[in-house]
Structures are given as structure tokens and as C-alpha cells.
Structure 1
């Protein structure tokens, strides 16, 4: 009711209001707007219908959405992935029935026993197909809205709002846990998932925010950190983006998720490389040049400070041992490793075709691709990512180009998180909204000053 009411309120305000609300509703990863048997329809997926209605009502945006999936465009390869995925979900579990043993993803009488079952259709063949179709629609709608500079600005503001909302909900998660009032957040934790919002590690609460578990929260926060961190390093609205970047990075570290702790150094490295590539120590960009020079020095100083302090060194070592280095010997890690082993056997048993979208559970995105949609689906995905994230469409060193680089960095951060822990091929609406922004190229109106660098020196 809340999701539908929000959609009805946003409809008269137009596509920008509905799209902004869509991005914010992706925060509620532990919520279900509708429960259909064992399937959870999340608020963002339900709200996508309102965005679709407002975008298709405008001729320019409707034409842009169609062009986004035409041959030669990134959306075409995503369309191929979705078509192959849906076809594989319908046909392959039936054509290859009993040909291999699987760890099923969907609900079945065997799904929670920890054992394997003969290959056959599962309920998640349907739900994952719906999710992938929704991802295609979200990507097309994002590209369509981003085809105008006003819409492009709306997407950026919506993503910044998402980052701020993620920080706020994490604070609420911590606050309600500390005061014993977790029940206040039950309204957004109503999905039929296994919830882990009361877990602790070495006495520290595992931060889950509005997600069902710490790894999902850390993965989403890595994306928010990469997006806001890139804009901050490029000097775009540095006060806001800097605050959000620092807060997001701190939450990733404090989440106690091995996904976040293992992914954070990689994201930091990508941010540093992006900054060097973007600025080239350009003297007209003093902030970024200073950051490029000082970052290695500060990192070395921090490492030395920890090593020289015995107590700090012991705390860091114990923390790292528990969450990273000794993680592979835990019961959870052994179980997840067995999922990947069975999934790779499914890939070979299917002769590289996969056993169908949404059929098997894994613990790594590359393994999920290969085992579920095989070589054809993996090729389509790689073509989509390559063309969407690495095809330069805006003049360099402009507001639009910087926002596209930030979206690309955020997508890579989410892929890193998925490579460490993703159970399925589906990466969520946020990933495809970021991918849509990364390949958007607005051509009308004057550039917005929202993300203009702070005036300094010659730039003033």
C-alpha cells in the first residue's frame, strides 16, 4: 500500500519524480511490497511500473528508450542476455532434466536440506526471469531519462539521495539495535528471506541497514562509496559528496562483512587510478592533484602508525583474521565453496549452455553466469558491460563525463562485491540504473551547475 500510494503521488509530478523515488526504493532490499507464494516482489520492482508509465507517455523519452536497445547499443546485448536467460529458464531445466545434480536456488522440498537434487525446474526460474526483465526496463528507462540534461541531473541527484538514505538507514539499524527497538524496522523487513539483523562478530554488531544481511549491505555501500568518492575526487559538489563518501567507506569497514573488507581496497585502487586518469596532475584541478600526491603518503603513514602501536596492531590483526584470513575455514565458507563446485560441474555437464537462469545457487557472480546461462549468456553480459561502461560518449572533463565515470566506477564496485558473494545472475535495479547513467549522453539545454567544482584560483 505504501509503494502504490507513493507511486500515485509521484505520477502527477512526472518522470523525474517517479525515477527519483524508484532509485530510493531500491534501498529496501529486505522488504517485499507483494508476497506471491514463496516469491518476494520488492518495492522497487513494483514501483518500476510507475516509471514505465511516465516515460512512455513522453515521445522523446519513449524513442530514446527504444534506441537504447537497438542493435549496436549496450541495451541490445542486455536484451540478448534477457531473451537467452528467459529461454534457458523455460527450456534447459526440462530438456536436461536429471542430467546433473544441482543446489537449487528456488523454493522446493529440497531447497533447505543442504543436499543436491536432480536438475529440474524450480520456482526461481520464473522469479529470476521477471527480475532480469525488470533490469532491462530499468536500464532503458535510465538511458531515456538521461537523454536530456534535466533528466541526467535528476539521475545524479537520485543516486546521491540513495547514498544519503543508505547512510541514514544504517544509522537507524545501529541505533535500534543499541536501544533494543529493532521491531520499529520490521515494516521494511517483511520479505521471506533469512534475516541476519541481530548478528555480532567479536561483540560488534554486523550492520545490515535496510538489507537482509551484512554482505548485501556492504556490497550496496561499496557502490555508493565508489559513486560519491569519484565525484568528490573530481571536485563535484565536494562538501556533500565528500561527506557521503567518507561515511559510506566507514560503514563498509564497520559492517564486519568480508565482502566489504575484501572489496574496499580494490575500490580504493580503482578510485585512485580513475583520479590519475581524469586529472593527469592538471594544475587547474589543485584538489585532485593534491589528493593524487598525498594519498600514498597518508596510506603509508597509517600503516606505520598501526604497526608501531601494539594494541592497534593486535586489534586490526584479530579483526582481519576473523573476517578475511580465517573465513575460508568457517562452516559458511565451506558451504558456499561447495555451491560453486556443484555449479561449475553443472556448467560442464550442460556442455557450456548452462542449466537455466535462476536454477542453481552459487556464491560468486562469474560462477553464477557460467552455470545458469552458460557461455552464450556470459558473452552477452560481457558485451553489455564493455559497451555500457567503457564507451566514451561525452566530452572529457565535463560534468556529464565525470558523472558517467562515477557511475562506471560504482558499477565496477558492485561487480567486485558480486564476484565475492553473489548467489544469482540478477544484480539489482541499482546496478542497471548506474549502467544506464554510465552510457547516457544528454544533448539539450545548458549544463547544470549542481555538480560544478568549487571555484578556486583560475577556475573561479
Structure 2
């Protein structure tokens, strides 16, 4: 095992936060989760990211506090979304070990990790792969992140801390995007080497038609675009609800621009989808007191701006040509590219995996796909997909809180943030691991600080939230 400089920083930060409070640790977790191309330490060939280091400190902090431990366990009990998430992870871990062995050779897979075969992307007979273990570890980490977030956010002060941590992620995501572009333009990419040390294939200097592909703190443009779609949806919803409008409005607009300019087809396709969801959100929250001014602005000006932009593109041939060429390079032209053909073959193989295993799946982390839905079906089968849908329904669809209240607005923003990430996942994700940012958002969407009765026991409020 070796520890990297960013790992030393993460450990020191975790120790410092551990002595402060769980609230401080969860805020640090939000910042650490943005480092998608960083490795805090290496254990063999495995990359341990800074976010997972902070997750360990958060677990330690919660487990040493009786009330937080009770809330952690409550988040996983039957009837809560975490119960179905736990079943998904439990089933997934079992399938990762048993399915490739019991069903060995019954189908051809595009392996996600390394096998006894060469590391080509052609299909091979179903066998265990290295990512059966790594994906199992990541999914256990995601479950812990979700349940710990729910536990921390079970009182008002913790709820505010989780919300602050997610906003910190949004700001950091935007800042690293600007740093990525600035260092590339000035030839100083080495300044970001400390956060680009993971043993992955990094596409940090790629271009399309001479335009820099924005990757921020991630490994490639599609990962950055997927993250930024979530940030756009999360901060855009908070702005519509009138929560910290100057900060959230700036980050939302900037994120939308970055998504479009990232040269990722994921962002270009996902941005209109999330724009529509935010427009529907503006209509839904328009009657609430805090949201009335901002939602009205969105309802009136978004169609106006969109119509004006469409007319400008249609009237001016030069603008029309430029826009068409950009869309053709980023999205339309990719449909016939070698990459698109390869990804299509992954998905066809995944569908065949479902058929050949009669819906059981080939095991968590076994098969590579290019869509989250197919990754679920191919890897954890119909049962695992049902567990995920029950979790998503409980965490993201079920309504909680009084409309117009802070908790309701924050949960709505977290739900939309999850939907933004899901849009990206449906387009490109090869795995069912949705990461710490998604799990923190889902945890905030599920949290119920209204249940807290600590103020009755102590005789004083525990931190009323105002943002």
C-alpha cells in the first residue's frame, strides 16, 4: 500500500473534522467526492479515492455517537429506501462471487475488468473478473454513504451540513472546470497532477476539432458532463425555490454553459432534458412564497430566450452553420464513429447476457455496457433491478415535507440532482456504481429532520436552518 500526497491531505483533514463534528466531516466529504481522477492511496492495483477516505472518517464519527448510530440503522430498516438499497448491494455482492462461477461459460461477456484472457474489448466466455471485487467494494461504500448521509441529516443542523456539503461539491466542480481550461490554455497542466494520479486511462488533454474537452477533476469529458448535469439540476432547483439565489443561480448558469461547451454528447443530449425538468419544476413551485419571484422569471424568460435563440440560428446562416457543425461533431457524427459502434456492441452483448442467464445476470461488476439500465439488467439481473427501482421510488419519488418549506425545497433539489446524474448514466454508464455525489443527494432526499425530538430533550433548538 502507498499513500499519495492528496491522501495525506485527506487523512489530516479527516482527523481534524473528526474532532470537530460529523457535520464538518460530511461537508469535507462533499468536497472530496469531486476528485474523480484522484487516488488518495493505492492498495495493490486498486485506487482508493479521497472521497472514500473521508467516508471512512464519517463512518467512524457516526459509529461513536449513539443517536447517530440509531439513525444510521433506522435508514436501513424495512420500509425505508435504504432497505432496498441494502438488498441491492447484498444481492450484488453475492452475485459478484457466485454468478460468474455457477454460470461460467453460458454466455459471452464484454469484460469490465481483467480476465484470464487478454484485455481486449471483444467478447469472452463468462468468467470471474477483477472488477467483481472492486465494484462490490464501491457499492458497499455507496450504501454506507447513503445511510450515513441520512443519519447526519436526521436533525436540522446535520441537514444544513449535508446541504452545505453538496453546495461545496457544486462550487468545486465548477472551479476545477475553469482550472482545467486555464491550465490547458497556459501549458501548466502539471499543476493538477496531484489530483490526476489514479491508475485509470485519463483523457485530460483530448480535443475535438481543436476545442479542449473539459474534464475538470474527472477522468474524461463524459464523466465531467454527467457530474455537471447533476450540479445544474441541483443548484437550478434551489435557485427556482429562492434558496441562496445568487450562489445557486450563478453555479446553475455556469454549469449549463460548461455542459454545452464540454464537447461531450452526454452533456449536449442531457442538457435539454434537464432544462425541461427544471421548467416543469418552476411551474410546480410557482405558488410557493419563497419561489414565486424566481420561478416566474424562469417561466416567462426561458421560453422567450429559447425562442429568440432559435430564431437567431434560423435567420443567420453563419450562426446556423456553426451550431450545426458543433452538434454534428459532438453528437450526430458520433453515432457512426468507432466508439459508438463499439458501445453499441457492448449493449447488444449485455442484452444477450440477460437472455442467456434467464434474467439472473452475470454478476456485479462482470459485464461492460454503455447504459445504466443495461448495466443493472446484465450484471444484477431482474431481481437487482427491482431492488434499485424500489430504492429510487422511495428516495426520489415519494413526497416528503410541507411544500415550500426548506426541507421540501432541499429534497426536491436533491431529487432533481439525482435525475440529472441518472440522465448521464442512462447515456454512457458502464457500471451500476453511481458514486458518492449521487448517494449524498439521495440521502438528503430521504432524510427526515422533522422526526428529530432532540430539542425536547435538551430544551433548546438544535439549529434551525436558513438558506
TM-score bracket for this pair, using the shorter chain length: over 0.9
Aligned twin of 2:457: none
Deviation at 1:134, TM superposition (A): 0.6
Aligned twin of 2:455: none
Structure 2 residue 10 is matched with structure 1 residue 16: no
Structure 2 residue 96 is matched with structure 1 residue 89: yes
Structure 2 residue 126 is matched with structure 1 residue 119: yes
Deviation at 1:349, TM superposition (A): 0.6
Alpha-carbon distance between aligned partners in 2 of 1:160 and 1:172, rounded to the nearest angstrom: 18
Pairs within 5 Å for 1:388-399:
388-399=395-406
Of residues 272-281 and 442-451 in structure 1, the stretch that sits farther from structure 2 once superposed is 442-451
1:223 to 230, 237, 241: 230
Q: 1:102 to 1:218 in 2, by over 3 A?
A: same
Structure 2 residue 81 is matched with structure 1 residue 74: yes
Structure 2 residue 131 is matched with structure 1 residue 141: no
Aligned twin of 1:373: 380
Aligned twin of 1:30: 37
8 Å contact kept, 1:207–1:217: yes
Alpha-carbon distance between aligned partners in 2 of 1:449 and 1:301, rounded to the nearest angstrom: 40
Q: 1:184 to 1:344 in 2, by over 3 A?
A: same
Aligned twin of 2:247: 240
Structure 2 residue 437 is matched with structure 1 residue 430: yes
Pairs within 5 Å for 1:1-400:
1-110=8-117, 112-280=119-287, 285-400=292-407
Of residues 31-40 and 117-126 in structure 1, the stretch that sits farther from structure 2 once superposed is 31-40
Q: Which runs of 5+ in 1 are unaligned?
A: 452-460
Q: 1:192 to 1:247 in 2, by over 3 A?
A: same
Alpha-carbon distance between aligned partners in 2 of 1:103 and 1:229, rounded to the nearest angstrom: 38
Deviation at 1:281, TM superposition (A): 8.2
8 Å contact kept, 1:281–1:288: no
Alpha-carbon distance between aligned partners in 1 of 2:107 and 2:180, rounded to the nearest angstrom: 42
Alpha-carbon distance between aligned partners in 2 of 1:91 and 1:319, rounded to the nearest angstrom: 47
Which string of whole-angstrom CA distances, capped at 9 and with x for unpartnered residues, describes residues 275-323 of structure 1? 1112248798233123212321221111111211211111100000111
Alpha-carbon distance between aligned partners in 2 of 1:67 and 1:123, rounded to the nearest angstrom: 33
Deviation at 1:440, TM superposition (A): 1.0
Alpha-carbon distance between aligned partners in 1 of 2:290 and 2:218, rounded to the nearest angstrom: 43
Q: 1:396 to 1:284 in 2, by over 3 A?
A: closer
Q: Which runs of 5+ in 2 are unaligned?
A: 1-7, 453-460
Deviation at 1:106, TM superposition (A): 0.9
Which string of whole-angstrom CA distances, capped at 9 and with x for unpartnered residues, describes residues 351-372 of structure 1? 1000000001111000000000
Deviation at 1:345, TM superposition (A): 0.6
Alpha-carbon distance between aligned partners in 2 of 1:233 and 1:108, rounded to the nearest angstrom: 49
8 Å contact kept, 1:10–1:18: yes
Q: Partner of 2:263: helix, strand, or coil?
A: coil
Q: How many residues align?
A: 451
Question: Alpha carbon RMSD of aligned pairs, Å?
Answer: 1.5
Of residues 277-286 and 90-99 in structure 1, the stretch that sits farther from structure 2 once superposed is 277-286
8 Å contact kept, 2:289–2:404: no
